[in-house]
Structure formats: structure tokens, C-alpha cells
Amino acid sequence: MFYVHASVAATGMVLIFIVNLATNVAAGITGEWWAWWSAWAFIGWSLALAVHGLVVRLDRPTQASSTWEQRQIEKVLAR
């Protein structure tokens, strides 16, 4: 599920950047740093994705037992 969210975030960030670029070009303000409002969306979305990644990473079993690993392998192979 994390990879789905990361893909959606990357696609959304690209679209936001394109909209910001198009509006800046149309207004003739591409050289102004304050006109790049998409940077705030990048920062917010990146922080949210980083928190999600940490939650996924830290939500692993405390002891990596061979039985847990075997169940995970069987779960993947059953698909």
C-alpha cells in the first residue's frame, strides 16, 4: 500500500508542478521565487509520505522468527 501512496504522491506532485509552471509562464513571473507555490505542496506531501514510510518500516514484528517469515512467503505464493 505504501508504494501505491508513493506513486499517487509522485503523480500529484508532477501535476501540481505543471499547473504552477503553466500559471507562472502565463503571468510572466517564472523568475520570481515567491511564485513557486508548488514547493509548499512538495514539502507537505513529502513529509506526509516520510511519516507513512516510517510507520510502515516500524510496524514490523519485533522478532523476525522463521515461522513468521514462512507465513509471509506462503501468503505471497498463494496469490
Q: What is the pLDDT of residues 12-63, one digit of tens each?
A: 999 999 999 999 999 999 899 999 999 999 999 999 999 999 998 887 766 5
C-alpha cell at 75: 501468503
Can you spell out the DSSP letters for 67-79?
HHHHHHHHHHHH-
C-alpha cell at 41: 505542496
- What b/e string do you get for 1-38 counting C-beta neighbours within 10 Å, with b at 16 or more? eeeeeeeebeeebeebeeebeeebeeeeeeeeeeeeeb
Encoded amino acid at 23, one letter: T
- Give me the number of domains the chain comprises: 1
The confidence score (pLDDT) of residue 56 equals 86
Q: How confident is the model at residue 79 (pLDDT cuts 50, 70, 90)?
A: confident
Full domain range(s) for residue 60? 2-78
